[in-house]
């Protein structure tokens, strides 16, 4: 179930302040309930995830310029994960660690705007500065063998570590220019920073003190561009779009798995896509 509500107050014809609050629960992820997507390995202790979120903001709506700035705080409790624990001896079976009751705190500030200096030119942009951390330590994490028999337990002192697998700082700037009524070009810039590598359970198991944050991938910048043109094909209204993603063929790390030293030396990384082209047609009939 979920419940949410909001309020908006107009200070004048241009300015407003707003607030939103919500709470919802959702089932644990499928692979956290059915370990390894196997019907015989059911995690019966998985609980509904519980999310409480609060947002406060200020907005401006002028003739050519509009913007919002807001602060948010989201408490995300009872997340459930399963992680593979690889055997240390050759030929031995791998194990599965069942992480229950994992809490995270997501908070930050966001800003977005649009600016239209003329009918033919439009700018838009955003900045998001996040501070996302795990909010509790885990004790007595059960570890199971392939027969779902508990073989040992682990403790994971992860409170205060940065949440991984998503860039916590992002920014974007876009431009749209209309040459004619149905012909336009767009250029989009995107920036990603503070992307932390995913946690490997073994690196944190039974540590006496909280480890340092996982390896942080290098910041990166991407540019995309597109050209759109509308034509008539008989009685059909058609729009042709040519697009280039990662215009400058930037090499970047889009995801990573942390290694034992929390450095680039032993991190397992996935590179993002290079320059790609696409051509599409949309026909209305």
| Overall average pLDDT of the 180-193 stretch | 95
pLDDT at 38 over 90: no
Distance CA 8, CA 16 (A): 7
User: In this predicted structure, what is the pLDDT of residue 114?
Assistant: 97
| Overall average pLDDT of the 34-62 stretch | 85
Most confident of 92-101, 113-122, 251-260: 113-122
198-213 pLDDT per residue, tens? 877 667 778 877 778 8
50-92 pLDDT per residue, tens? 999 999 999 999 999 999 999 999 999 998 877 777 666 666 6
User: In this predicted structure, what is the pLDDT of residue 88?
Assistant: 60
Distance CA 170, CA 58 (A): 20
| Overall average pLDDT of the 131-151 stretch | 83
pLDDT at 7 over 90: yes
User: In this predicted structure, what is the pLDDT of residue 71?
Assistant: 98
User: In this predicted structure, what is the pLDDT of residue 284?
Assistant: 87
Distance CA 143, CA 152 (A): 5
Band of the pLDDT at 96, cuts 50, 70, 90?
Answer: confident
Average pLDDT, the chain: 89
| Overall average pLDDT of the 143-167 stretch | 83
| Overall average pLDDT of the 105-123 stretch | 96
Dihedral (CA of 158, 159, 165, 170) sign: negative
Q: What angle do CA 76, 95, 42 make, to 5 degrees?
A: 60
Share of the chain above pLDDT 70, in %: 95
Percent of the chain as helix, strand, coil, to the nearest 5 = 5, 60, 35
User: In this predicted structure, what is the pLDDT of residue 275?
Assistant: 97
pLDDT at 163 over 70: yes
User: In this predicted structure, what is the pLDDT of residue 86?
Assistant: 66
147 vs 92, more confident: 147
Q: Whole-model pTM?
A: 0.84
pLDDT at 253 over 90: yes
With a CB cutoff of 8 Å and minimum separation 6, the contacts of 125 are: 112, 113, 171, 172, 173, 174
User: In this predicted structure, what is the pLDDT of residue 61?
Assistant: 95
């Amino acid at each position: 179930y979920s419940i949410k509500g909001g309020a908006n107050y107009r200070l004048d014809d241009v300015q407003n302040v707003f607030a939103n609050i919500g709470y919802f629960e959702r089932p644990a992820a499928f692979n956290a309930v059915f370990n390894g997507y196997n019907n015989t390995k059911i995690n019966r202790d998985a609980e509904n995830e519980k999310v409480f979120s609060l947002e406060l903001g200020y907005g401006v709506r002028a003739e050519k310029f509009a913007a919002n700035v807001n602060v948010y705080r989201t408490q995300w409790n009872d997340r459930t994960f399963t992680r593979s624990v690889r055997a240390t001896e050759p030929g031995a079976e791998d194990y599965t660690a069942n992480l229950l009751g994992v809490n995270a705190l997501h908070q930050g500030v966001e800003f977005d705007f649009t600016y239209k200096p003329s009918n033919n030119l439009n700018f838009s942009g955003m900045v998001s500065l996040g501070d996302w951390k795990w909010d509790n330590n885990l004790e007595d994490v059960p570890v199971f063998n392939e027969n779902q028999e508990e073989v040992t337990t682990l403790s994971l002192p992860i409170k205060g570590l940065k949440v991984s697998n998503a860039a916590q700082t992002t920014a974007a700037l876009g431009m749209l220019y209309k040459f004619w009524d149905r012909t336009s070009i767009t250029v989009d810039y995107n920036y990603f920073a503070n992307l932390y590598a995913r946690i490997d359970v073994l690196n944190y198991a039974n540590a006496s003190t909280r480890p340092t944050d996982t390896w942080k991938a290098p910041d990166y910048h991407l540019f995309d561009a597109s050209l759109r043109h509308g034509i008539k094909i008989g009685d059909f209204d058609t729009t042709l779009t040519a697009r280039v993603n990662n215009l400058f063929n930037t090499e970047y790390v889009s995801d990573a798995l942390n290694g034992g030293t929390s450095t680039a030396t032993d991190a397992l990384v996935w590179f993002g896509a290079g320059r790609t082209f696409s051509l599409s047609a949309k026909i209305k009939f």
